[in-house]
C-alpha cells in the first residue's frame, strides 16, 4: 500500500519495531500464541507472545514455533509479577528476541539494562505519568500507554488523560504507542497526528480467523456492546481486587456475590483477611482458559476492551491490517485537504 501521510508520521515506530506498519497486536494470555503472532507479523505489523506464567521451556518452545512460522521480528511480553518472570527474562535474553516488553508492574532498572544488553529494544507499559517518567529514566526505548478502556488487567487512568499527561509531554524523548480504545484506522490517524509512534490493539485481533479463541468466545465479542465490557468492582479495601475489564456474565455476577459474602464473614469475625483474600484470588483461577480455549462463556473470564462494541465481524488478520492502514491514510488525506485553505 502507498501511504505517504502515514510514512511521515510513524517513521519512529517503524524504525523501533523494524516493521512496515507499527500496529501492535497486544499480548493476550491464551490468545497471543504462535499462530496469531506470526500471522500479524507476516501481514507487516507487529505482535508479542503472551507468556503469562507458563513454564520457561514452554516459552522457549513457543518462540521456536513462531520463528518457524515467520522470519519477521516479534516480541515476548513479560509479566513482572509472574512467579516465573525472572526465568522468562533469561529465556528471552538467551533467545535474542529483537524486542522485549515489560508489563504487569515496574521492572527494576537492572532488568531493563540486562534486556538491552542482549541487543533487544525494550518497551514498557505506563499506566500513570509517574511510571512513564520512571521508565524513561531507566532507559526504555519506548512506552506503551494503556488506558483503562483496554481489556484484561487495566490501569487506573483513561486513555485521553494519559495522552495529555504523557504523550504530549514526552513523545519527543521516546516513541510512544497508544493502547486501549483503538479499533479503527481513523482513530489511529488522529493519534499519530497527536504524536504517537504507533498503536496497539487487542480486542480487534481476537475477531480474526487466525485467533485460536473458541467460537463461543468470539461470538460473545460479536454480540457485545461497548458498555458490556466492565471493570471488576471492589466493594471494600479490605478485599483488594486487581481491576480487570471483561464482558459481564454469570461469572462476574457470582464474583460480586462472593465479595459481599466474604465481607459479611469478615464483619462477623468468621474469617480473617488473608483467608478472604485467598478466596477472592481463587475464584478466577483458570477462568480465562475456560473461556478462551474451552468456550465456557457463562462462568469463564471474557476479557475484552470497550472496543468490543466496534469489533463485530471476524476477518483474516491481513484484512484487518489493510483496513486500518487504508482508513488511516484516507483520513490523513482528508485532514490535509481541510487544512489546505489555511496553508500559506
The whole-number average pLDDT for the span 250-254 is 94
Q: What is the pLDDT of residue 181?
A: 95
Taking residues 272-297, what's their average pLDDT? 91
Q: Does one domain contain both 9 and 158?
A: yes
Above 90 in pLDDT, residue 278?
A: no
Give the torsion through C-alpha atoms of 66, 67, 69, 75, to 10 deg: 50
The runs of H, that is alpha helices, within the chain are 4-9, 11-17, 34-42, 56-69, 85-94, 109-117, 129-138, 159-162, 168-170, 185-193, 203-206, 215-223, 250-268, 273-283, 287-292, 317-339
- DSSP designation for 96: T
121 and 195 inside one domain? yes
The set of cell numbers assigned to 94 is 538467551
Residues 245 and 153 in one domain: no
Same domain, 52 and 198: yes
- pLDDT interval class at 280 (50, 70, 90): confident
User: Quick one: how far is CA 277 from the chain centroid?
Assistant: 26
Specify the DSSP element, H or E, that contains 118. Answer: none
**46 and 161 inside one domain:** yes
- 56 phi, psi to nearest 5 deg: -55, -40
Answer yes or no: do 198 and 283 share one domain: no
Section 287-299 average pLDDT: 96
Residues 175 and 66 in one domain: yes
State the DSSP string of 202-214: SHHHHSBTT--S-
CATH number of the domain within which 147 lies = 3.20.20.70
Residue 125 pairs with which residues in a beta bridge? Answer: 144
- Find where cell 462477623 sits: 268
In a domain, 112, yes or no: yes
Distance, C-alpha 260 to centroid of its chain: 30
User: Do 99 and 184 sit in the same domain of this protein?
Assistant: yes
- Among residues 153, 143, 156, the alpha carbon closest in space to that of 198 is found at 143
- How does the average pLDDT of the chain come out, rounded? 95
Q: How far apart are CA 319 and CA 315, in angstroms?
A: 6
**DSSP classification of residue 157:** S
Q: Show Cβ contacts of residue 189 under 8 Å, excluding neighbours closer than 6 positions.
A: 6, 327, 328, 329, 331, 332, 335
The pLDDT > 70 percentage for the chain reads 100
Closest to 119 (Cα-Cα) out of 147, 102, 99, 90 = 99
- pLDDT-derived band at 344 (thresholds 50, 70, 90) equals low
Mean pLDDT throughout 302-321?
A: 97
> Using CB atoms within 10 A of its CB, is residue 137 exposed (0-12), middle (13-18) or buried (19+)?
exposed
The boundaries of the domain holding residue 246 are 225-303
Amino acid at each position: 500500500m502507498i501511504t505517504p501521510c502515514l510514512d511521515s508520521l510513524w517513521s519512529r515506530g517503524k524504525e523501533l519495531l523494524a516493521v512496515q506498519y507499527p500496529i501492535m497486536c497486544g499480548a493476550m494470555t491464551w490468545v497471543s500464541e504462535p499462530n496469531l503472532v506470526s500471522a500479524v507479523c507476516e501481514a507487516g505489523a507487529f505482535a508479542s507472545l503472551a507468556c503469562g506464567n507458563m513454564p520457561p521451556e514452554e516459552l522457549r518452545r513457543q518462540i521456536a514455533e513462531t520463528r518457524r512460522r515467520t522470519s519477521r521480528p516479534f516480541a515476548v511480553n513479560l509479566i513482572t509479577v509472574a512467579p516465573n518472570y525472572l526465568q522468562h527474562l533469561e529465556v528471552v535474553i538467551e533467545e535474542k528476541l529483537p524486542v522485549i516488553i515489560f508489563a504487569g508492574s515496574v521492572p527494576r532498572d537492572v532488568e531493563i539494562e540486562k534486556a538491552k544488553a542482549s541487543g533487544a529494544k525494550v518497551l514498557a507499559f505506563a499506566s500513570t505519568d509517574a511510571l512513564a517518567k520512571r521508565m524513561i529514566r531507566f532507559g526504555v526505548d519506548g512506552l506503551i500507554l494503556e488506558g483503562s478502556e483496554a481489556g484484561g488487567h487495566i490501569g487506573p487512568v483513561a486513555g485521553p488523560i494519559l495522552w495529555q499527561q504523557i504523550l504530549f509531554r514526552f513523545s519527543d524523548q521516546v516513541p510512544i504507542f497508544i493502547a486501549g480504545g483503538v479499533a479503527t484506522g481513523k482513530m489511529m490517524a488522529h493519534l499519530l497526528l497527536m504524536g504517537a509512534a504507533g498503536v496497539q490493539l487487542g480486542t480487534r485481533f481476537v475477531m480474526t480467523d487466525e485467533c485460536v479463541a473458541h467460537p463461543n468466545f468470539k461470538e460473545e465479542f460479536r454480540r457485545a456492546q461497548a458498555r458490556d465490557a466492565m471493570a471488576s468492582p471492589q466493594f471494600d479495601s479490605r478485599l483488594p481486587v486487581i481491576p480487570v475489564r471483561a464482558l459481564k456474565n454469570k461469572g462476574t455476577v457470582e464474583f460480586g456475590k462472593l465479595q459481599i459474602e466474604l465481607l459479611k464473614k469478615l464483619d462477623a469475625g468468621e474469617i480473617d483477611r488473608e483467608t478472604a483474600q485467598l478466596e477472592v484470588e481463587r475464584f478466577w483461577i483458570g477462568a480465562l482458559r475456560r473461556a478462551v480455549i474451552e468456550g465456557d462463556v457463562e462462568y469463564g473470564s471474557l476479557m475484552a476492551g470497550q472496543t468490543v462494541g466496534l469489533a463485530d465481524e471476524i476477518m483474516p488478520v491481513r484484512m484487518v491490517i489493510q483496513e486500518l492502514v487504508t482508513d488511516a491514510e484516507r483520513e490523513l488525506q482528508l485532514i490535509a485537504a481541510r487544512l489546505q485553505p489555511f496553508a500559506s
